[in-house]
């Protein structure tokens, strides 16, 4: 590409979210399993989580978050030509949840597909959409993280049922000409990693091919905690190295909302000041692929994240998968 030709960069047009109406508090859980509000909050930072109603599917949550993001962007569904949904709890084995959201939105052109990277799903979807948009093949992308983890939780397992909730978040990205400068708006860099040796530490013990069942989520909590704090900060360091941006220059750090202790320890390890960390885990628990866009939506709505801010997204999920995206908002 010659210097006379402008590059394309994926610019955030809007964000939106949706949480199911039903709230399950720590006190509610204490009436279901041997636990307490104090025990849960001290170890996780979670106060409550939202649970999808009977018949309320992942695509329904995703559609509502998508419509909120479109409204925030000032766009209509027909303006979108790419839909990527990060989810581990699809409505059906197939067709994809993305196609069901596409149909619900009334979009009949472009392409829609799911991406499976568990809790890293939204960050992986942002990175994937960015590649499509920068290639020039598509103009506007709807990137969604949507989950109904309540459907795969063993509600008798107090070590996992206290952690997870349902929800959806969405972002609209638009390809715009750019000269490639770090002070221009858009996705500046993305970094993704995975290591499939760790399946046993965080997995669902069912699946169409292996067991012909849906299964339940199983987790080795201490091992996941150790990995999340000890290993995954490399993708954030890679983003800093790729752009020359320092932790001090960052305006906001928006990590996967799994556990408040993981969030705080990761930020400390990266040299990111506590006041720059967006933490919403107390409001909705771990919503897997939905957690990062849910946190983004809160921080945009309350005025923290503003146009021109440097925002770092980071997530880690089963597999293990992990990734980062640095965005000039």
Helix axes 58-73, 97-105, angle to 10 degrees: 50
| Distance set, CA 303 to CA 12, 167, 171, 283 (Å) | 16, 22, 17, 18
Contact 82, 111 (CB under 8 A): yes
Q: Give the span between the Cα atoms of 133 and 130, in whole angstroms.
A: 5
Count of CB atoms situated within 10 Å of the CB of 74: 10
Token pair for 115: 């991406």
DSSP letter for each residue of 178-211: E---TTSSEEEEEEEEE-GGGGGGEEES--TTTT
The residue written with tokens 């309350």 in the block is: 302
Per DSSP, the three-state class of 167 is: strand
Count the residues in the chain: 329
Longest CA–CA span in the chain (Å) reads: 66
Sole residue written with tokens 């809790």: 119
SS percent in the chain: helix, strand, coil, step 5: 40, 25, 35
Give me the half-sphere count of Cα atoms (radius 13 Å) on the Cβ side of residue 314. 28
Phi, psi dihedral angles at 323 (to 5 degrees): -165, 165
**Strand pairing of 140-148 and 111-115?**
unpaired
Catalytically annotated residues: 119, 256, 286
Distance of CA 24 to the CA centre of its chain: 21
Residue 244, class by beta-carbon neighbours within 10 Å (0-12 exposed, 13-18 middle, 19+ buried)?
A: exposed
């Amino acid at each position: 590409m010659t210097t006379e030709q402008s590059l394309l960069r994926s610019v955030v047009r809007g964000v939106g979210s949706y949480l199911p109406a039903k709230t399950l508090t720590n006190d509610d859980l204490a009436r279901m399993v041997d636990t307490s509000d104090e025990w849960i909050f001290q170890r996780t930072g979670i106060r409550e989580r939202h649970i999808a109603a009977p018949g309320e599917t992942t695509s329904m949550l995703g559609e509502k978050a998508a419509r909120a993001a479109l409204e925030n962007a000032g766009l209509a569904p027909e303006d979108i030509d790419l839909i990527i949904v990060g989810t581990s709890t699809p409505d059906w084995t197939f067709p994809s949840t993305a196609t069901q959201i596409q149909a619900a939105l009334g979009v009949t052109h472009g392409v829609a597909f799911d991406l499976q990277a568990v809790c890293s799903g939204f960050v992986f979807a942002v990175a994937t959409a960015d590649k499509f948009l920068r290639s020039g093949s598509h103009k506007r992308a709807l990137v969604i993280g949507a989950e109904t983890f309540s459907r795969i939780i063993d509600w008798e397992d107090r070590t996992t049922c206290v952690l997870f909730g349902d929800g959806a978040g969405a972002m609209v990205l638009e390809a715009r000409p750019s000269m490639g400068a770090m002070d221009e708006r858009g996705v500046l860099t993305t970094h993704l990693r995975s290591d499939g040796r760790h399946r046993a530490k965080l997995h669902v013990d069912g699946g169409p091919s292996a067991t012909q069942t849906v299964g339940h989520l199983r987790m080795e909590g201490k091992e996941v905690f150790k990995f999340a704090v000890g290993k995954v900060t490399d993708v954030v360091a890679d983003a800093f190295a790729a752009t020359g941006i320092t932790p001090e220059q960052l305006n906001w750090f928006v990590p996967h909302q799994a556990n408040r202790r993981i969030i705080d320890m990761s930020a400390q390890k990266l040299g990111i000041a506590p006041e720059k960390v967006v933490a919403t885990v107390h409001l909705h628990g771990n919503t897997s692929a939905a957690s990062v866009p849910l946190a983004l939506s809160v921080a945009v709505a309350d005025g923290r994240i503003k146009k021109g801010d440097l925002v770092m997204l980071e997530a880690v999920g089963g597999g293990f998968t992990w990734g980062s995206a640095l965005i000039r908002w």
